Structure 1
Amino acid sequence: MTAMHMAALSDDVEGIQLLLKYGASKDLKSGEGQTALDIAKEANAKKLIALLTAE
């Protein structure tokens, strides 16, 4: 599990913004095959979903 996945699990919008700013990939999959977006969708974390789907 990456820092991006941990931030998604804790609904940490600021953490994800920071990770993306410094080049973290939002497409990496966890050992369970989930992306940060998958985790955000499971939690219905609307702000994270919007952030992770923005171009």
Structure 2
Amino acid sequence: MSSVLLVCKQDDVIRGLADILRPMNFQLIDSANSAAEGRRRLQEIEYDLVIVNTPLGDEF
């Protein structure tokens, strides 16, 4: 795997997950703070892994 998208409304959680994933040598660690932003990024890039930490502020 070389790319991951982290979708979470909390920046500190994104940073923590990125810190855990960084030693796994992902070429791209990207993030989104909402479901809408995550969907936009998924249309732009084909990620190998997507991690979604729910609930998201705009998911309902």
- When the two structures are superposed, what TM-score results if normalisation uses the length of structure 2? 0.35
The answer to which structure, 1 or 2, has the higher relative contact order (CA under 8 A, 6+ apart) is 2
The structure having more radius of gyration, on CA atoms, is 2
More helix by share: 1
